[in-house]
Amino acid sequence: MVQSRRFRLMAFLFGKIGNLSPPAENPKPNGDIVLNFHLCPPAVGYAQLIPGNDDSTVLPGKALILGTALLPSGLIDHPDRPEQPAAADGSDDPEALPADLLRLAGAEGGFAFVFWEQAKAVLWLGTDRYGFKPFYYYYRDGELAFSTDLDRLVRNTSRKFEVNYSVFSQYLCLRHPFGDETLFREINRLPQGAFLRYSVPEDRLERVPYFDYRSFQPELSITSQQVLAEGPARFTAALERHVGRAQKVVLPLSGGYDSRMIACGLHRLGIELLTYTTHKDYRYTTDTIAAAEVGKLLGATHHDKALPTNYFALFHQQKCGMVHFETSYHPWIVNLLSILPKEPFPCFDGLGGDACLGGSEITPEFWNLWRCEKYEQFAKEYFRWYKTIFGLLVTTAYLREIEALAQQRINAEIRRIKGNPNGLIYLGLRNFTRRAIALSTFGILGHERPIRTPFFDHQFFEWSLAIPVHLKVKTKIYRQLFTDYSGKTAVVPNTHQRPKDSRYFQKTSALWSKQVNRSYLGHIINQLTPFLPGFVNPSLKEKLSKKDPSVMHRDVLFALADLAYWFVTYQNNLTIRGWMK
């Protein structure tokens, strides 16, 4: 088995509360930060913050915050400040949210936290308002356990979990789950824009919503001229807020719009840029060539790491752990970690540019169906566009049910947002952006350093949602904004352009289909058989023996490899009764 090098430990947050057996004991710190939950006098639980490379904030006896929480003025960034008196507007109401909790809800960045109300014996769990920092939990038999590290949550209990075959089907068919479920039936991910509130005296767990981006509606009076006039200054202001006092930053630079927008904006601000790129094993060399040219034009210190021929075999297992088995996207990005600087400079990521400004994620076909409220037809087209070609690699007995389970999940997500003009954007933000792209980009890079996502700066994001959708679809407003903002780098083509005979679009051979990766894929997928006998089509072995397997099978092969490795990894933590049992 090919092994890859290990990278520095990412910090994580973990804990339990409730009907613990044996009773909760103070964990041995070993350098960890511990917050004990007491109920006059016995301890009823604890939370641990395990140090790593991520940002963290500690309020002794009250809260642990993990991740990049950019706190506005007046927030809880001074742990030793005196307790503020209750406001006269009802915040002393037993059901009201604590003032510090409300302030934390307004923080920028990607983070997760625990907040303990000693007087009421109430524990609050939460994340950034977009839910980009993964935070997992299960609640069973009066015990609530939680962790930002899914592996830690599963292994730190004698309980066994059942397989969530709906999520299994989504993963195989769509390459990541939709909604908040995981492959473990009893474990969920904290929802976007909501706290979890657990009352120890009542033994009650409930969701408390605090933010819903579906409430932002397009302003139809806004024109493209307004967007192009205001956009550059607004985006530069967002960058300034996220740069803070940093003078040097890290930026993974691709051949697309999002990262180049950030690079050009940081260059305007006089920030020293360290840019990094690697081949994505797609059909063209756009990213490596275009990124190097952009870096040169901006005076950045640019680094390009060649993707190893055996990258999938080399990085696959590590990638699965880093993304908590939530997506099969982007196995190549682990390659970047080996060349990032040791110093923990802030790392900027282009997450959300497409989602906010309507780039490639909102197609004219989808928009026409959506605005005409043809939701049933939209669901079919969306599913057809999304799904992998898994039919030839799985035996026929499973095909219909896998497709039905995945389609049901998409239908449920569409029902949540139908009728909303920004529905397509919200659909992508809650699912594709949050659970596939977020985890497979800054979710991996976050193992090395703090992450900044300026497209999700609160002010910029809310402004982007006010832009009428037709401007994003018909007038391609993002393309125009990109052209204006990218300045002298605009002469370098991007992945959305393909000039004929351009040196930026040289075709390359597919590394994933090289013998070493095909052998690894065959070996790991074969390990699915003891858990799901007769699931994998016998023809898979023959397909992988060919020198050039079809590129149509790549995505489903990657997903099958992830699922097989998940079963192998957690076989002692699972109750496996067979398909759908």
Asked whether 289 and 503 are in contact (CB, 8 A), the reply is yes
Most confident of 343-352, 361-370, 488-497, 561-570: 561-570
pLDDT the model gives residue 15: 95
pLDDT the model gives residue 20: 65
What's the whole-number mean pLDDT along residues 38-67?
81
Higher pLDDT, 545 or 566: 566
List pLDDT tens digits, range 196-218: 999 999 999 999 999 988 889 99
The CATH-assigned architecture of domain 218-360+445-505 is 3-Layer(aba) Sandwich (3.40)
Rounded distance, CA 351 to CA 435, Å?
12
pLDDT the model gives residue 581: 67
First vs last C-alpha separation in the chain = 32
pLDDT-wise least confident of 8-12, 21-25, 551-555: 21-25
Residue 70's pLDDT band (boundaries 50, 70, 90)? confident
pLDDT the model gives residue 10: 64
Rounded distance, CA 108 to CA 461, Å?
11
CATH 3.40.50.620 residue window(s) in the chain: 218-360+445-505
Closest CA relative to residue 143, chosen from 187, 192, 112: 187
Q: Which residues pair with 275 in a beta bridge?
A: 251, 302
What's the whole-number mean pLDDT along residues 62-74?
75
pLDDT the model gives residue 430: 87
Rounded distance, CA 464 to CA 456, Å?
10
H-helix or E-strand spanning residue 139 = strand 136-140
Instruction: Tell how strand 63-67 and strand 111-117 pair up.
Output: antiparallel
What's the whole-number mean pLDDT along residues 160-169?
96
Residue 383's pLDDT band (boundaries 50, 70, 90)? very high
Here the tokens at position 329 are 């996207």
pLDDT the model gives residue 277: 92
Quick one: what percent of the chain has pLDDT higher than 90? 57
pLDDT the model gives residue 80: 34
List pLDDT tens digits, range 281-316: 877 777 788 899 999 999 999 999 999 999 999 999
Higher pLDDT, 494 or 23: 494
Residue 53, pLDDT above cutoff 50: yes
Rounded distance, CA 498 to CA 248, Å?
33
- The set of residues, in sequence order, having a beta carbon less than 8 Å from that of 414 and lying 6+ positions away, is 375, 378, 379, 382, 423, 427
What's the whole-number mean pLDDT along residues 501-529?
87
Residue 6's pLDDT band (boundaries 50, 70, 90)? very low
What's the whole-number mean pLDDT along residues 53-73?
78
Here the tokens at position 125 are 């769990």
Asked whether 7 and 337 are in contact (CB, 8 A), the reply is yes
pLDDT the model gives residue 87: 35
Residue 426, pLDDT above cutoff 80: yes
**Exposed (0-12), middle (13-18) or buried (19+): which is 527, by Cβ within 10 Å?**
middle
Sheet harboring 248-252: ordered strands across?
301-305, 272-278, 248-252, 347-348, 451-452
pLDDT the model gives residue 213: 83
pLDDT the model gives residue 359: 63
pLDDT the model gives residue 185: 96
Task: Tell me if the pTM is above 0.85.
Answer: yes
- The set of residues, in sequence order, having a beta carbon less than 8 Å from that of 323 and lying 6+ positions away, is 439, 440, 443, 444
Here the tokens at position 249 are 């930053």
What's the whole-number mean pLDDT along residues 192-196?
93
Asked whether 388 and 174 are in contact (CB, 8 A), the reply is yes
- Mean of pLDDT over the chain: 86
What's the whole-number mean pLDDT along residues 477-481?
92
List pLDDT tens digits, range 103-121: 888 888 889 999 999 989 9
What's the whole-number mean pLDDT along residues 443-449?
76
pLDDT the model gives residue 376: 95
pLDDT-wise least confident of 48-62, 134-148, 381-395: 48-62
Residue 231, pLDDT above cutoff 70: yes
Rounded distance, CA 460 to CA 529, Å?
49
Rounded distance, CA 116 to CA 121, Å?
7
